[in-house]
Amino acid sequence: MNRTRVLLTGFDPFHDDPVNAAWEVVQEVAASDLAGIDLHVQQIPTVFHTSLDVLAQAIRQVQPDVVLCLGQAGGRAAISIERIGVNLDDARIPDNAGQQPREVPIVAGGPAAYWSGLPVRDLVTRLREAGIPAEESWSAGHFVCNHVLYGLMHLLQAPEFQTQGVVGGFIHVPYLPEQAARHPNTPCLGRAEMVRALRLVLDALKR
């Protein structure tokens, strides 16, 4: 039986945070066993455009059935499955290369937005039924996370990926408890719950 090839990505830490919750979770899931899944992990720099170069390169190498990118959304209380990426970079803080684009399209002449390829509602339902706080999100923001979601879905428009039916999408995770401990009145989700959530999502995306 065929295993589903999954390319799973997370970002490096950014701004003043020593860790990135998404990357922490990605690593922990990668170290575990996932029935029916051939998992490939890639760290992506929190840098406009370079992030997409790294992602495109990984996709060429891995030839995945599913590309799932994870990012950290400090301040959110639940695993949030993004619905849509929009064609605009607008950074309130510099990225890890010091770039801070304001109101700049990601792809000149590209469409305003692309829908995520994930079964958003179904994933939210599965996670909630498993006792994990989850929500669907209608905006992935306008920093590098949205940049990667839009860029990924733009890339997957290529005929080769459309033919193969490659699925792409983006999920935001809250702070880990140790991050929230430094940001008063900010929600978090435990490492154990995040890992369980990501494993459930991957299982749901198996072909």
Q: Which of 30, 41, 54, 77 binds its own copies (CB under 8 A)?
A: 77
Gap between the Cα atoms of 3 and 10, Å rounded? 22
> How many CB atoms are located within 10 Å of the residue 91 CB?
18
Query: Cα separation of 62 and 39, whole Å?
Result: 9
| Span between the terminal Cα atoms of the chain, in Å | 11
- Catalytic: 172? yes
Helix residue ranges per DSSP H, 34-183? 50-62, 120-129, 144-155, 159-164, 177-180
Opening angle at CA 174, ends 207 and 31, nearest 5? 50
Closest separation in Å from C-beta 157 to its own copies? 12
Provide the minimum distance between the beta carbon of 123 and its own copies in the complex, in angstroms, as a whole number.
13
Centroid of chain to Cα 143? 13
103 counts as catalytic: no
Residue in 22, 73, 134, 167 binding its own copies, rule: CB under 8 A: 134
Q: Among residue numbers 161 through 190, which ones bind its own copies (CB under 8 A)?
A: 177-178, 180-182, 184-190
> Can 154 be counted among the known catalytic residues?
no
Single out the residue of 56, 97, 107, 112 in contact with its own copies (rule: CB under 8 A).
112
Catalytic residue chosen out of the listed positions 24, 69, 82, 154 = 82
Does 78 sit near its own copies (CB under 8 A)?
yes
Question: Which residues here bind its own copies, judged by CB under 8 A?
Answer: 77-78, 83-84, 86, 88, 103, 111-115, 121, 127-135, 138-139, 141-142, 177-178, 180-182, 184-193
Catalytic site positions:
82, 145, 172
